[in-house]
């Protein structure tokens, strides 16, 4: 695929993936992350190949009735990114937000919004959001990363349902998140 930059088009397939041609390409990966799954972490890893700096933005999303509080989700994400190499972990920040994504992206200096797609059903909603965001801020691009076949079916809502009903979620989340889910549902 290609990046469009001010100084022209850079082909990422020539010598491997290249970062954006801007001085510093900041990407925002927004979501509820309630909880963060193996699929989310795949998008984080792959995003680091595309941007110089990645901001993971857990949204407040009270309307979705999250299982974990915003602070718990921030802590979980920070625990998960701790596994990255020191070089990569220095390129990731966790910054929560409330409000319009496009405003948040502008606020943190992002030139790219990164969204993961699992299935065709995600695409319809995501393309609408990307088009609305482009109308509000044409200088911020949206990049879609397709989930690998290993992670296409993983959704945080399904993971929570499985955990709530006493099922094993260990193949969908890290050991740390698995333990947090078990603790959360044992307490209720």
Q: pLDDT tens digits, residue range 162-186?
A: 999 999 999 999 999 999 999 998 8
**Strand 8-11 vs strand 2-5: parallel, antiparallel, or unpaired?**
antiparallel
Q: Is 115 a catalytic residue?
A: no
Confidence at residue 172, expressed as pLDDT on a 0 to 100 scale: 93
Over range 132-160, report the average pLDDT. 88
| Catalytic pick among 38, 47, 111, 156 | 156
Over range 26-37, report the average pLDDT. 95
Containing 171, the helix (H) or strand (E) segment is: none
Using CA atoms, how far apart are residues 51 and 110, in angstroms rounded to an integer? Answer: 10
Using CA atoms, how far apart are residues 147 and 42, in angstroms rounded to an integer? Answer: 8
Confidence at residue 33, expressed as pLDDT on a 0 to 100 scale: 95
% of the chain with per-residue pLDDT over 90: 64
| Catalytic pick among 45, 49, 64, 150 | 64
Provide the 3-class DSSP secondary structure of residue 17. coil
Q: Is 53 a catalytic residue?
A: no
pLDDT digits (tens, 9 = 90+) for 83-132: 776 667 689 999 999 999 999 999 999 999 999 988 777 788 899 999 99
Which of 151 and 123 is assigned the larger pLDDT? 123
Q: Is 10 a catalytic residue?
A: no
Confidence at residue 121, expressed as pLDDT on a 0 to 100 scale: 75
Q: Is 156 a catalytic residue?
A: yes
List Cβ neighbours of 14 (8 Å cut-off, separation of 6 or more). Answer: none
| Catalytic pick among 118, 164, 182, 184 | 118
Confidence at residue 39, expressed as pLDDT on a 0 to 100 scale: 92
List Cβ neighbours of 39 (8 Å cut-off, separation of 6 or more). Answer: 116, 118, 147, 151, 152, 154, 172
């Amino acid at each position: 695929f290609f990046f469009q930059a001010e100084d022209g088009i850079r082909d990422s397939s020539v010598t491997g993936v290249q970062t954006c041609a801007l001085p510093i390409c900041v990407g925002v990966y927004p979501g509820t992350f309630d909880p963060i799954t193996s699929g989310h972490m795949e998008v984080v890893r792959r995003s680091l190949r595309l941007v110089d700096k990645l901001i993971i933005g857990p949204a407040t999303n009270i309307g979705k009735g999250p299982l974990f509080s915003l602070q718990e989700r921030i802590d979980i994400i920070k625990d998960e990114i701790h596994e990255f190499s020191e070089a990569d972990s220095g390129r990731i920040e966790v910054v929560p937000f409330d409000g319009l994504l496009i405003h948040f992206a502008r606020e943190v200096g992002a030139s790219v919004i990164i969204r993961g797609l699992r299935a065709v059903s995600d695409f319809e909603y995501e393309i609408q959001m990307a088009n609305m965001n482009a109308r509000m801020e044409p200088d911020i691009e949206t990049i879609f990363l397709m989930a690998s076949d290993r992670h296409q079916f993983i959704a945080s809502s399904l993971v929570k349902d499985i955990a709530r009903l006493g099922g094993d979620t260990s193949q969908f989340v890290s050991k740390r998140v698995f333990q947090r889910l078990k603790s959360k549902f044992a307490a209720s």
